[in-house]
Structure 1
């Protein structure tokens, strides 16, 4: 766990707060942004980055979701429920993004030998534990069966999942990404994904095991901590925690080179989605 802490103790954190850009800000832009930041951090053109982002009513799909036998029916259901969707470029399965879900990307340079994958996951887990250290709860990292996009680094309190972590490596940069359900109903979000799989799979047997979702195993932090949290005050907790860890927080506009890379990665995201959907 100490190695994970070392990862959080960066001399500088470049803060990129995109948590209040509103409904026009699309998920494809976010995933392109993280790839660009990996490239920039990997090339030592930028210090380590902490990016915060929020998207309105969007379902972020994994590659495996695009292989559902009745995918079009599943996507039609999402549209009828008022959601957009895209296929992201990091691992995992369908995840709900909305105004009550804060996403964080921790972008650091890879090591010579390639950073151990667990180190990135543990750093993010440690960060979240520190952000909510004033609450008398135990934030665990283990797979929560019945949740959407289950994984061994699901973050939970008393067996209820409120966050999931993924990782992506691009050009000597590593992006550790987490979604944190801050407000709203975790069970309602899970119900939406359950319906998506019901419409997309029907009763067909598939080689891949899609999750059997039990909405009750998911909750938001507001529900779990019985506290009136907001995305804004959790952002404040994040910045205070990074400061306590000793890093200097800086803001830095995108350079011309970064803007160019971003454009290329964005085009790639759009092309990828055309291919899969």
Structure 2
């Protein structure tokens, strides 16, 4: 399995480039690559779904999160609004295959189990399943002790393959709640702010760097040496 790991430095275009990168890799497969992985901690971002943009309150929601310091973007995956920042770890996993539409639910199961296992290994009481009132609700969210969501995932499937994106919230729950509260109110979605959690709620000593390293190990990737800007890619081989 060849994995192209992009450096974790911010992309030149910020959050807009972050959400555009996955679809671009899925569509073009630069260098003839089949599989691509990017694990990074982005600038404060409010990632709306296309479904969110159809809600009457979307313009007000986008303006509200911008005032709170989050760049509003529209992500290509499904679901509903998710907020992330430097205290989050975002995983964008692209696999180019003509059989992408076959059992997409299996990917949710598989990666939920992988992410829960990573967090359990870091001392977190990680469980799979939605918490009532969580943001971007999903059957395969990962939560802490059945009370607070810490990992959410969404995917996009095209004729070229699949893009599976996940967000692990490591630190800064209060910084996440503010934008989520105002945006979900404007969008008209049910949302309970108390369901927003981070890894550090349960394992205070765990850092973004520790989560990133554990995820890379779980995906079977050896981090390449830093080679300049994020737009330059390094290839590693794992299997």
Shorter-chain TM range is 0.7 to 0.9
Cα 1:14–1:191, aligned 2, differ >3 Å: closer, same or farther? same
Alignment match, 1:21: 10
Moved over 6 A (4+): 247-252
Q: What do residues 127-176 of structure 1 show as CA deviations (whole Å, max 9, x unaligned)?
A: 21332343455532222221111111111121111011001123422111
Matched, 1:240 2:217: yes
Give TM-score, length-normalised by structure 2: 0.82
Give TM-score, length-normalised by structure 1: 0.72
Cα 1:250–1:116, aligned 2, differ >3 Å: closer, same or farther? farther
Q: What is the SS of the residue equivalent to 1:132?
A: helix
Matched, 1:212 2:190: yes
Deviation at 1:250, TM superposition (A): 6.5
Alignment match, 1:268: none
Matched, 1:62 2:40: no
Task: List runs of 5+ in structure 1 lacking aligned partners.
Answer: 1-10, 202-209, 256-277
Specify which structure has the higher proportion of helix: 1
CA distance in 1, matches of 2:138, 2:100: 25
Alignment match, 2:202: 224
CA distance in 1, matches of 2:189, 2:41: 25
Q: Any residues of structure 2 matched to 1:175-190 within 5 Å, and which?
A: 175-185=163-173, 188-190=175-177
Larger Rg: 1
Deviation at 1:249, TM superposition (A): 6.7
CA distance in 2, matches of 1:138, 1:189: 21
Deviation at 1:248, TM superposition (A): 7.0
Q: Contact 2:124/2:202 (CA < 8 Å) preserved in 1?
A: no
Matched, 1:169 2:147: no
Q: What is the SS of the residue equivalent to 2:152?
A: strand
Specify which structure has the higher proportion of strand: 2
Aligned-residue CA RMSD (Å) = 2.8
CA distance in 1, matches of 2:233, 2:123: 40
Alignment match, 1:266: none
Q: Any residues of structure 2 matched to 1:183-202 within 5 Å, and which?
A: 183-185=171-173, 188-198=175-185, 200-201=186-187
Task: List runs of 5+ in structure 2 lacking aligned partners.
Answer: 235-239
